[in-house]
Amino acid sequence: MSVDPPNLHATAIVIGKTGLLFVGPSGSGKSEMAFSFITEAQRCGLEAALVADDQVLMTCSGGTVIANRPAAIAGLLELRGSGIISLKSVASAEMHCAITSMPSPESPRLPPENERLELGASASLPLVRIPRDSITPYGKFAALAQNLFITKGM
């Protein structure tokens, strides 16, 4: 009997070889921010693709976190209030960092040190908080997490 991987309500993308998992409650802007990251990265000349939007099938083994897309939603991303769009996508990618959007007025000036997103007993990801109203969210993330990027190829 096979066990289906856990289905996480999130959005996963890959920029270069760096996998990013956008997490937060419904309506928090995960898809919008992921789309912004993809388009900003592409404008910077980096390869960027969607893994999955809204449903991410997660597998964790030996501390490695892999995001997989359900076949039914391959390449589709919902821009709330605007519609569903098609994007370049990959079937799966290793995740390196989790990102959550924060409403600026409610955000603390500094996040907790070494904050992580726990994905069960066997894996976690560094968690970065990006203000929802940031004009350049990808640029802000890149400045905060320079050591995470592996930009040669996909």
Residue 118 lies in a domain: yes
Q: Which helix (H) or strand (E) holds 31?
A: helix 30-43
List the Cα angle 123/57/16 in 5-degree steps.
75
Q: Can you give the pLDDT at residue 37? A: 94
**Local confidence pLDDT in tens for the 154 residues of the chain:** 344 568 899 999 999 999 999 999 888 889 999 999 999 999 999 999 999 999 999 998 888 999 999 999 999 999 988 999 999 999 999 999 999 988 766 667 777 778 888 887 778 899 998 888 888 888 888 888 765 544 444 4
Residue 2 lies in a domain: no
Q: Can you give the pLDDT at residue 147? A: 53
Residue 80 lies in a domain: yes
Residue 90 lies in a domain: yes
Domain range spanning residue 135?
7-104+111-151
Residue 60 lies in a domain: yes
The residue whose two tokens read 């991410």 is: 56
Number of compact structural domains in the chain: 1
Q: Can you give the pLDDT at residue 5? A: 63
Residue 11 lies in a domain: yes
CATH code, domain with 15? 3.40.50.300
Residue 63 lies in a domain: yes
- Rounded Cα–Cα distance for residues 43 and 132 (Å): 20
Q: Can you give the pLDDT at residue 2? A: 43
Q: Can you give the pLDDT at residue 154? A: 41
Q: How far is CA 137 from CA 11, 46, 73, 101, 133, in A?
A: 15, 15, 25, 9, 8
Residue 1 lies in a domain: no
